Amino acid sequence: MKKGIHPDYRESTIVCACGNIVKTRSTKPEIKVEICNKCHPYFTGKQKFVDSTGRVEKFLKKYDK
């Protein structure tokens, strides 16, 4: 490999908006993200439905057999 053409690869910190901190290696010293595996509903298994107008109940009532 040629010297001086590759970026500096060092320890990096990923910081989520929820406060979760992950240590990794990157060319950037700090990476800020809005959502991570600790707070995203798909990855945590804590997905909740936001149903403000009763759409889910209306659908279940209409197609319940």
| CATH code (residue 41) | 4.10.80.400
pLDDT digits (tens, 9 = 90+) for 10-63: 999 999 988 899 999 999 999 999 888 788 766 555 555 555 667 777 888 888
Q: Return d(Cα 56, Cα 65) in angstroms, integer.
A: 15
Q: Is residue 57 part of a domain?
A: yes
User: What pLDDT sits at residue 4?
Assistant: 86
User: What pLDDT sits at residue 14?
Assistant: 93
* CA distance readout (Å), 47 to 28, 43, 44, 50, 64: 32, 9, 8, 10, 23
Instruction: Answer yes or no: pTM beyond 0.75.
Output: no
User: What pLDDT sits at residue 30?
Assistant: 95
Q: Is residue 5 part of a domain?
A: no
User: What pLDDT sits at residue 57?
Assistant: 79
User: What pLDDT sits at residue 37?
Assistant: 79
Q: What domain range is 37 assigned to?
A: 10-63
